[in-house]
């Protein structure tokens, strides 16, 4: 029997690495190609919702995340105007429905690092850095992938499929002429990390918090520090429309931003600050012949609710479950159409809809509408039946079930 071509993955971020582990466990050869020279230590997504933790547990990863991260069973909504806690949601209410009724705070770079630590010495775990996928030619039975190496030389690599896990600006998606439909917010967001323990300032602060304000809302999450560092509190706040990155990252400006939320005489110790553009976009399809998309290459959204990375991991697990039997000849290519139908619905009907609604909830400017929104959130949190229904949607439990129900 002729040797089958491996699957080629463009990227080595968290979605690519979860996909790689899932393929490895099913005996499917792959080669992951990452343009960076080493894993990127970034301060992006960190929240892993209950269905994601369950999926990662099936891959042998969850126990490491839980041990090294922070478990967050409770999250709170705050009203900055009245300095009040509007609502508290306890995922413990879902203990009879999910095996992990909590969110795990574990940054995506730590997930990549852990995967490489656990599987990097495996001869079949083929991940190569400083190799950039620049294009491809697709044939009926394979894909010829074009690669640029660190020294500027180029080469071609033959694969059975090419999977774009190469981010929101995906080269693979663009080369496949797949539309990326949606919009970009006029304001950028800034993420500021501080080592100051905010629970010492206000004991109502949970590990995960959302602050509503008509001018300056905020996501506030805690993440585990590195072994030689304290934990970090991460603020995500909107910038003014037209505000430059240099203006936003000015030391005095950052101090003023943090002190508007938690006033204190001393300056905050800043761990890092990142500015980024935020869009709500979904690819028109997640598969085109032997080209597939997963993670940010397929969909991007605002960070309110922590859904982007979770959706990407759900893509990876769903795709591996279909691609492995297709590669082995047990299923036809139509199984990959099902991947698009399932995960496209999850992205549009759940992740996009929920993150857009989350932002509107926090930034509502009309006083009457704002009061109605906050009153509704409070009432919902106080009704266990409604609270459970809300958490099923907000934690992407409904998303996974709805996608899996599509045939």
Domain boundary among 259, 276, 293: 276
Q: How many CB atoms lie within 10 A of CB 381?
A: 20
The conformational region for residue 83 under phi > 0 = left, psi -120 to 50 = alpha, else beta, is left
Residues 218 and 164 in one domain: no
Alpha helices in 105-250 (DSSP H): 108-119, 171-175, 245-248
Q: Tens-digit pLDDT profile for the chain (407 aa)? A: 468 999 999 999 999 999 999 999 999 999 999 999 999 887 789 999 999 999 999 999 999 999 999 999 999 999 999 999 999 999 999 999 999 999 999 999 999 999 999 999 999 999 999 999 999 999 999 999 999 999 999 999 999 999 999 999 999 999 999 999 999 999 999 999 999 999 988 999 999 999 999 999 999 999 999 988 999 999 999 999 999 999 999 999 999 999 999 999 999 999 999 999 999 999 999 999 999 999 999 999 999 999 999 999 999 999 999 999 999 999 999 999 999 999 999 999 999 999 999 999 999 999 999 999 999 999 999 999 999 999 999 999 999 999 999 99
| Greatest alpha-carbon span in the chain | 73
Residues 196 and 326 in one domain: no
Q: CB under 8 Å to 221, separation ≥6 — which residues?
A: 46, 47, 105, 207, 208, 209, 233, 234, 236, 306
Radius of gyration of the chain (CA): 22
The CATH number assigned to the domain holding 147 equals 3.50.50.60
- Residue 39 within a domain: yes
Q: Which residue has the tokens 């999250």?
A: 75
Residues 357 and 216 in one domain: no
- Residue 372 within a domain: no
- Residue 79 within a domain: no
Give the residue numbers spanning the domain of 391.
Answer: 7-64+103-184+281-361+387-404
Residues 213 and 328 in one domain: no
- Residue 291 within a domain: yes
CA separation for the pair 201, 228 (Å, rounded)? 23
Residues 209 and 299 in one domain: no
Indicate the number of domains in the chain. 2
Residues 171 and 318 in one domain: yes
Residues 138 and 222 in one domain: no
Instruction: Give the angle 315-37-8 at the CA atoms, nearest 5°.
Output: 40
- Residue 244 within a domain: yes
CA separation for the pair 170, 151 (Å, rounded)? 22
What's the pLDDT score for residue 2?
Answer: 63
Which residue, among 43, 26, 12, has the nearest Cα to 270 in the 3D structure? 43
CA distances from 217 to 21, 197, 242 (A): 37, 20, 18
What's the pLDDT score for residue 43?
Answer: 78
Full-model pTM: 0.97
- Residue 248 within a domain: yes
Residues 328 and 199 in one domain: no
Residues 204 and 312 in one domain: no
- Residue 17 within a domain: yes
Domain boundary among 252, 276, 300: 276
Residues 196 and 255 in one domain: yes
- Residue 307 within a domain: yes
What's the pLDDT score for residue 89?
Answer: 98
Secondary structure in 3-state letters for 315-371: HHHHHHHHHHHHHCCCCCCHHHHHHHHHHHHHHHHHHHHHHHHHHHHHHCCCHHHHH
Residues 121 and 176 in one domain: yes
CA separation for the pair 400, 393 (Å, rounded)? 10
Residues 58 and 155 in one domain: yes
Domain boundary among 276, 308, 333: 276
């Amino acid at each position: 029997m002729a040797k089958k071509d491996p699957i080629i993955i463009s990227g080595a971020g968290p979605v690519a690495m979860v996909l790689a582990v899932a393929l490895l466990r099913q005996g499917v050869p792959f080669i992951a190609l990452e343009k960076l020279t080493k894993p990127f230590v970034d301060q992006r997504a960190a929240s892993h919702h209950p269905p994601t933790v369950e999926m990662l547990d099936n891959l042998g990863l969850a126990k490491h995340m839980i041990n090294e991260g922070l478990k967050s069973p409770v999250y709170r909504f705050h009203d900055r105007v009245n300095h009040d806690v509007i609502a508290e949601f306890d995922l413990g209410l879902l203990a009879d429905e999910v095996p992990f009724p909590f969110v795990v705070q574990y940054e995506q770079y730590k997930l990549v690092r852990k995967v490489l630590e656990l599987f990097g010495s495996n001869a079949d775990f083929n991940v190569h850095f400083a190799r950039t996928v620049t294009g491809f030619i697709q044939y009926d039975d394979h894909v010829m992938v074009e690669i640029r190496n660190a020294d500027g030389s180029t080469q071609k690599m033959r694969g059975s499929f090419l999977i774009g896990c190469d981010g929101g600006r995906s080269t693979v998606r663009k080369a496949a002429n797949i539309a990326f439909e949606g919009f970009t917010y006029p304001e950028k967001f800034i993420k500021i990390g501080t080592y100051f323990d905010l629970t010492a300032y206000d004991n109502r602060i949970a590990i995960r918090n959302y602050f509503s304000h008509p001018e300056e809302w905020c996501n506030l999450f805690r993440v585990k520090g590195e072994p030689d560092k304290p934990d970090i509190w991460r603020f995500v706040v909107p910038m003014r429309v037209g505000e430059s990155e240099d203006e936003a990252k000015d030391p005095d400006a950052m101090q003023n931003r943090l002190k508007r939320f938690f006033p204190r005489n001393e300056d905050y110790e800043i761990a890092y600050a990142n500015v980024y553009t935020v869009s709500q976009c979904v690819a028109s399809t997640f598969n085109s012949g032997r080209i597939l998309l997963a993670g940010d290459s397929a969909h991007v959204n605002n960070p309110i609710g922590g859904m982007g990375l979770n959706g990407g991991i759900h893509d990876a697990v769903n795709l591996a479950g279909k691609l492995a039997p297709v590669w082995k000849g047990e299923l036809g290519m139509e199984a990959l159409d099902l991947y698009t139908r399932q995960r496209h619905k999850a992205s549009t009907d759940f992740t996009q809809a929920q993150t857009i609604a989350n932002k509107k909830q926090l930034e509502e400017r009309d006083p009457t509408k704002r009061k109605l929104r906050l009153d509704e959130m409070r009432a919902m949190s106080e009704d266990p039946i409604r609270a459970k229904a809300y958490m099923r949607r907000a934690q992407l439990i409904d998303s996974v079930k709805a996608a899996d129900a599509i045939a």
